[in-house]
Structure 1
Amino acid sequence: MHNRVRTADGRQLMVERFGDPRGRPVFLLHGTPGSRLGPAPRGMVLYQRRIQIIAYDRPGYGDSDRLRGRSVADAVQDVATIADALGLERFAVAGRSGGAPHALACAALLPERVTRTAALVGLAPWDADGLDWFDGMTASNVREYTTASADPEELAARLTPRAAAIGKDPGRLLEELRIELTDNDRMIVADAGLRSMLLRNFREGLRNSADGWIDDALALCSPWGFEPADIRCPVMIWHGEQDVFSPVGHSRWLAERIPGATATIDPAAAHFAALRALPEILTWLLRDLPDPPEQHQRPA
């Protein structure tokens, strides 16, 4: 079920709800690049567990209007606006890859509404003290973030034609990544169902422009607008030690600085293994959300 939500400044956000519309709510913030149609647990699983997943296209992706110069922290007001439109007072938030810092922003800046937060295969702040930000990162990502930091116009010139090509043939992105994928990632991406979800995700996110991709990269290597150390709600950090897209050192840095954070590092996993870890992480996220009222009939 999709909804169009208007922000206070007049932008449109495209929102998708999966699973039980009366279930316990979890915002799922997509990766970079990505869209609201990114991989998520199957609807049957969500109904059985009485969960609703709320996903939305970050500004510039899919059918969400661009917000030029947005920071990571700007996602917080968009999430709050969507929650208000859907009548949700309290909710959990999970973010994967480029969505993970945006999920942590919600934890830091919406403490009265966010019950728990999970950050899967995420990144640390660009100015993280004591972290070699590029250590263990694949060459293509090093190049992308270095360019974003030094020459935003050059980043846009590179990503615009690339996004147009991927929007028409999203398999191109997986082919581009293939030479950099670890064995663990190759095995996961080879699954036909998961591959289909990834291709749909990339096609939708880049269907209209590269703006979301460009703005994500710029936001991730600029000041985030909050301090991870200020987070007070329970946080789960999950990472695969073999990850070459978001190196595991980023999650270790975050886990040391977020008070009381729980860190799970899988020594055999890489980047895309986060998709398989999500159902278990949902169980952890839901612990502080009240059970929904009993339903005697599944909604049509």
Structure 2
Amino acid sequence: MVFIQDLHLRDGRTLRVHDSAADHELDSAFTVLWQHGSPQTGALLKPLLSAAAARGIRLLSYGRPGYGGSSGLPGRDVAAAAADVEQLADALGIGRFAVMGASGGGPHALACAALLPERVSAVGCLASLAPLDADGFDWFAGMATDGASLRAAQLGRAERTAYEETVEFDPDSFIEADYNALAGPWAALGADVGLASAAGPDGLIDDDLAFVAPWGFPVAEIDVPVLVVQGRRDRVVPPSHGDWLSRRLPRAELWLRPDDGHISVLEACPAVMDWLSARP
């Protein structure tokens, strides 16, 4: 059972929060906060809940602004996630916690590490983008459709919004292992993406605009342990991003999974939870 509540933030916005500690039976457990991908609602998906329950972990998530019942915040940067997470943790009485993020959730997980270092014990990032201003590699190289949605975001909100009105999913974005994951253990992910997309593109557009703008914190100064998990065959976030992050983050460890794409890499989530639990 997952407890869902709407948290009212200091600026008047609402944040929809999902908490596996129904009836507070896991209040004192090791806590992991999940940063969802783009687009998703922020709901806790069955594979994550099962892995957390097997380990006695309290799992939290929330819909980023514009997703899943959370108020929008046009113009937000990646760093803004840390302020929302801080208020979430305060409201729930959680002092210290770990953070996991996948795909679009990866940069937001890193924001928590950078800006809440006294509270975040460790971070796990799966298939995370690197900052656009990262030196030493071609940020768009290897992306399906040549990163068209992110290139549109570089031109501004109007251009990114216009792109969303005509875009169609490119089936070559995923490899066979990705489609197998979506047809099997991660079917809930595909369903959740559908729900988020049906609610409108605002959250996704705001995410993309934030990814191609300055993030609001220096990645190289993050001083908590970070596990970077990357599929070598990822066509959405190419492996060069994971490589860059693992070389620039001072306390990073890289797990490069040779046969995984963008979705199948999520099969590593239980092992990532184990890694986080060993760094309370």
- Measured against the shorter chain, the TM-score band is over 0.9
Q: CA deviation at 1:188?
A: 1.6
Counterpart Cα distance in 2 of 1:225 and 1:40: 32
Q: Does 1:51 align with 2:57?
A: yes
The one of 183, 186, 189 aligned to 1:194: 186
| Conserved 8 A contact 1:38-1:198 | no
Identify the residue that residue 150 of structure 1 maps to in structure 2.
155
After TM superposition, the score normalised by the length of structure 2 is 0.92
1:200-256 C-alpha deviation (Å, 9 max, x unpaired): 311332343211000000000000000111111111000000000000100100111
Counterpart Cα distance in 1 of 2:48 and 2:72: 29
| Conserved 8 A contact 2:72-2:202 | yes
Residues 54 and 147 of structure 1, relative CA distance in 2, 3 Å threshold: same
Which residues in structure 2 correspond to 1:219-230 (within 5 Å)? 219-230=210-221
| Conserved 8 A contact 2:231-2:265 | yes
Q: Does 1:137 align with 2:143?
A: yes
| Conserved 8 A contact 1:96-1:274 | no
Identify the residue that residue 268 of structure 1 maps to in structure 2.
259
Counterpart Cα distance in 2 of 1:75 and 1:201: 21
AA aligned opposite 2:45: P
The one of 3, 7, 10 aligned to 1:8: 10
Where 1:32 maps in the other structure, the secondary structure is: coil
Which residues in structure 2 correspond to 1:104-115 (within 5 Å)? 104-115=110-121
| Conserved 8 A contact 1:28-1:54 | yes
Which residues in structure 2 correspond to 1:1-300 (within 5 Å)? 1-18=3-20, 21-22=26-27, 23-37=29-43, 39-41=45-47, 43-139=49-145, 142-159=147-164, 176-191=169-184, 193-195=185-187, 197-289=188-280
1:27-85 C-alpha deviation (Å, 9 max, x unpaired): 00000111212535354543332111101100011100001100000000001111111
| Conserved 8 A contact 1:178-1:186 | no
| Conserved 8 A contact 1:240-1:270 | yes
Counterpart Cα distance in 1 of 2:50 and 2:252: 31
Identity of aligned residues (%): 38
**Structure 1 moving runs of 4+ over 6 Å:** none
AA aligned opposite 1:14: R
Counterpart Cα distance in 2 of 1:76 and 1:7: 13
AA aligned opposite 1:238: V
Unaligned runs of 5+ residues in structure 1 are: 163-172, 290-300
Unaligned runs of 5+ residues in structure 2 are: none
AA aligned opposite 2:160: L
Counterpart Cα distance in 2 of 1:36 and 1:60: 11
Counterpart Cα distance in 2 of 1:243 and 1:38: 23
Residues 42 and 181 of structure 1, relative CA distance in 2, 3 Å threshold: closer
| Conserved 8 A contact 2:228-2:246 | yes
Residues 44 and 80 of structure 1, relative CA distance in 2, 3 Å threshold: same
Counterpart Cα distance in 1 of 2:147 and 2:173: 13
Q: Between 115-124 and 147-156, report the one with greater CA deviation.
A: 147-156
| Conserved 8 A contact 2:48-2:269 | no
Where 2:67 maps in the other structure, the secondary structure is: coil
Root-mean-square deviation (CA), in Å?
A: 1.8
AA aligned opposite 1:245: V
AA aligned opposite 1:223: P
After TM superposition, the score normalised by the length of structure 1 is 0.86
Counterpart Cα distance in 2 of 1:103 and 1:249: 19
AA aligned opposite 1:24: F
Q: CA deviation at 1:130?
A: 1.3
Counterpart Cα distance in 1 of 2:54 and 2:91: 25
